[in-house]
Structure 1
Amino acid sequence: MYENVCVCFQITQEQFILASQSLHLQRPGCDAVYPVGLYGWRKRGLYFFLLLLLVTMIVNLALTVWIMKVMNFSVDSMLVLQSEKNVTLNVRNEQGQLTGQLTVGPEAVEAQCQRLEVWSKGGDKLLFTADEEEVIMTTEKFTVTGSEGAVFGHSVETPLIQARASEDLKLESPTRTLTMEAPRGVEVSAATGPLKVSGRKDLQLESTEGEILLDANTIQLGGLPLGVYTASPHQVSQQEEVYEVCVCPSGKIYLSPAESSSTCQAMSNICLWS
């Protein structure tokens, strides 16, 4: 009986050993190695892309420096904008509407704005102003150097018109009349030279409420027609040197030889043809 029990124990131990050996697992080996990185054509493509990017940056920098050199972009020189046709600067408000425009073209410079102002160099004095109603110049002197002078299509209002030193001042209307008006009078004077008023046809001096005063040491009326007063209308004296100024009823002035009494005749041939 004891022998049977012993056998059973041995069998159980062997089974346990066999079972333990069957449960013992071997770990897999680490003989396989996988490389990490870019190799082959991928590595060469990456290097080519980096080289191309570097060349592009260098070319871009060179073009930027060249453009700045050609366009004179610097802190020491002025800004120059060049164009084959024109250069236009636009100003818009917050709503995007055009409020001002400056166009510099090959034939003209155009400015479109509500008011154009030109200030002095220091910015403390307004020199020129232009809007839809008027043009104002606040400079002390406005000079026109053209050979034909200044041409005005309509009226001109100014307190003084003066020529340069040693130069003549000429007010002329070749095909129409020349009118000078002022509520308190118009003064025309020549301080150092003669004053000449001439016209192709009629020259009229008119005063509606005052008088016309000719105040000078010598007053000469050249080119007046000469009337004849003699006992015989067919006898004309050529030795007379003193004349009398006569006025026709029409206002025409003529000369007549002076005598002891007036020789003016209202029915003179000069008055008849006036």
Structure 2
Amino acid sequence: MEETTTLDIETLKEQYTPGSQTLHLQHRPAGGGDDDDVISTVGLYGWRKRCLYFLLLLFLVTMIVNLALTVWIIKVMNLSTGGMGNLQLSQEGIRLEGFSEFLLPLYVKEIQSRRDDALVLRSERNVTLNVRNSQGHLTGQLTVGSASVEAQCRRLEVRSRAGGQPLFSADAKEIRIGTKTFTVSGSEGAVFRHSVETPLIQSSGSEELKLESPTRTLTMGAPRGVEVSSAHGALTVSGRKDLQLQSTEGEIVLNAATVRFASLPLGAYAPASTGRLSPGQATYEVCVCPSGRLYLSPAESTSTCQAVSNFCLWS
């Protein structure tokens, strides 16, 4: 006999109830076996049904919260198709409006402000600009701090806005100032610890020019001569010790309406014919020792200068 399985539809209708949500299947074996029905129950009931409803409710709440947070972030950040708030994206780059704060290093190719506004970089400590080569090595650094501005590079240049003329340049060997006039406005002037090379040193019309070396020697030299002049005032050259005017190949010319030698010493003189000096002696002559020292001697009808006088011998 051929094996068949028969599903009793009427039995299923009687055993199914909507409240229990169970499905009773009657399985009747084929072939002349036992006539007892074998019933199998399929469905969700008890704690399984409660867990399913809880998971569905949890998913629904999570979806609503995520949607609300997404809407809130879009509203707060002002997100749009063109950018995010003050940050605008374009083909030329990124444009920021208002104040922007960066907590980590910023890597950009160029930073510029609007044509009608200035570019301001602010920091609570300092602002540091680094330049690196293709290997990542540091080649230049500019640090703007509260106490100083430091630049570390091979050569520092400052150029003018009009024409790009170099105004100031510095490297490991020299410092150049390209302006026509270099003005020092400090009350103590300028201090140079080593030599200075310049074609002209002059003061303003209302100030005095003073060249001084408190503890060392002041030397001025030039291949074609040194000119020291004062157009409207007095010229004073003073020293604590010796003051030397030396010319190896030329001459020293004192060209003035009056040449005055103040505080010259009076040399000793013993007249041979006239006896003692008159107490009212008021005229003297200037004598020069072989060493170059000047002294005064009483003027008479003939010269009273003595090259072998005691004044010259002890000088």
More strand by share: 2
Moved more, 198-207 or 225-234: 225-234
Tell me the SS of whatever aligns to 2:141: strand
CA distance in 1, matches of 2:225, 2:218: 16
CA gap 1:220/1:109 in 2 versus in 1, 3 angstroms: same
Query: Amino acid of the residue matched to residue 221 of structure 1?
Result: F
| Alpha-carbon contact 1:228-1:236 (below 8 Å) kept | no
Query: Amino acid of the residue matched to residue 44 of structure 1?
Result: V
Aligned to 1:135: 175
**Is residue 2:191 matched to residue 1:174?**
no
| Alpha-carbon contact 2:268-2:310 (below 8 Å) kept | no
Aligned to 2:260: 220
Deviation at 1:268, TM superposition (A): 2.7
CA distance in 2, matches of 1:123, 1:115: 20
CA gap 1:234/1:59 in 2 versus in 1, 3 angstroms: farther
Tell me the SS of whatever aligns to 1:254: strand
Deviation at 1:231, TM superposition (A): 2.9
CA distance in 2, matches of 1:107, 1:236: 73
Query: Amino acid of the residue matched to residue 53 of structure 1?
Result: T
**Is residue 2:181 matched to residue 1:164?**
no
Tell me the SS of whatever aligns to 2:135: coil
Number of residues paired by the alignment? Answer: 237
Aligned to 1:242: 283
TM-score (ref. length: structure 2)? 0.68
Aligned to 1:22: none
Tell me the SS of whatever aligns to 1:151: coil
Query: Amino acid of the residue matched to residue 271 of structure 1?
Result: C
Equivalent residues in 2 for 1:200-211, closer than 5 Å? 200-211=240-251
CA gap 1:74/1:206 in 2 versus in 1, 3 angstroms: closer
Q: Identify the match of residue 152 of structure 1 among 183, 188, 192.
A: 192
Deviation at 1:180, TM superposition (A): 0.4
Deviation at 1:205, TM superposition (A): 1.0
Unaligned runs of 5+ in 2: 1-55, 88-95, 102-111
Moved more, 174-183 or 230-239: 230-239
Q: How large is the Cα RMSD of the aligned pairs?
A: 2.8
**Is residue 2:239 matched to residue 1:199?**
yes
TM-score (ref. length: structure 1)? 0.77
Question: Share of identical aligned residues, percent?
Answer: 59
CA gap 1:64/1:254 in 2 versus in 1, 3 angstroms: farther
CA gap 1:238/1:109 in 2 versus in 1, 3 angstroms: farther
Aligned to 2:51: none
Deviation at 1:122, TM superposition (A): 2.4
CA distance in 2, matches of 1:89, 1:234: 90
Deviation at 1:235, TM superposition (A): 4.2
Aligned to 2:123: 83
CA distance in 2, matches of 1:141, 1:88: 32
CA distance in 1, matches of 2:190, 2:126: 29
Unaligned runs of 5+ in 1: 1-38
Deviation digits for residues 171-227 of structure 1, max 9, x if unmatched? 000011000011111000111111100001111111122211111111111111022
Deviation digits for residues 85-128 of structure 1, max 9, x if unmatched? 22211001112121111011222211111111111122432211
Q: Identify the match of residue 47 of structure 1 among 64, 75, 88.
A: 64
Aligned to 1:263: 304
| Alpha-carbon contact 1:93-1:99 (below 8 Å) kept | yes
